[in-house]
Amino acid sequence: MRVPALICLLLIFCTSVKSEEIPLNDVTIVPGVRVGPIEKGITLFGLKTLFGGGQVKAADIGVGEGETLPGAKLFEGTDKELEILFNPEGDEKEVWDIRVIGKGWKFENGLKLGQTLEEVEAINGAPFIVLGFGWDYGGFANFKDGKLDSKVGIRFGTGDAELDDSLVGDREILSTDKKLRAAKPKVETISIVFR
């Protein structure tokens, strides 16, 4: 009779330890799974409980074309700064996306701000699509069936480089395109997708 009770207690302990094992100061990002101790399924309440209300500041986060969504900033002004978007349709304010702002985060797969097309292509395991530059969604990558598909959102930028007309506007450009590679775009923003 004691063995089943012991097994139940062990199962409860093992399933509840998972989140507690990740230290609050962890800076590891596992795309689609967690950002440090922030795991898929966490809510605004969970963030405040985890880090304290003073670290989580409400903010309207820009999402393009002049639109904003309710969100929060975490660790604002530090090398761990994050912008967090909440599901706009949910009552629980569940985390939807996390935009990595600070450079103190380390991706498990080697992804990082400032990487080239070629470096991201190697991590993805395949070429991908980049939207043309010069508009609200310019430079965003679509990874289709690669390793990064549905796990991260990446936006490339070209700085002040003069761009060929074929790279500008609402169009899809393959990451292997010679003119795109000549423009030397680099990763400007990375978002972790929790949807």
Task: Read off the pLDDT of residues 164-180 as tens digits, 9 standing for 90 and up.
Answer: 999 999 999 999 999 99
| pTM, to two decimals | 0.82
Closest by Cα among 32, 39, 21, 43 to 94: 43
Task: Read off the pLDDT of residues 6-40 as tens digits, 9 standing for 90 and up.
Answer: 454 444 444 343 445 899 999 999 998 999 999 99
Residue with the bigger pLDDT between 5 and 188: it is 188
Task: Read off the pLDDT of residues 122-143 as tens digits, 9 standing for 90 and up.
Answer: 999 999 999 999 999 999 999 9
Closest by Cα among 98, 99, 93, 97 to 44: 93
In angstroms, rounded to a whole number, what is the distance separating the alpha carbons of residues 188 and 195?
Answer: 22
Task: Read off the pLDDT of residues 50-109 as tens digits, 9 standing for 90 and up.
Answer: 999 899 999 999 988 889 988 999 999 999 999 999 998 877 789 999 999 999 999 999
SS (H, E, C) 73-132: EECCCCCCCEEEEECCCCCCCEEEEEEECCCCCEECCCCCCCCEHHHHHHHHCCCCEEEC
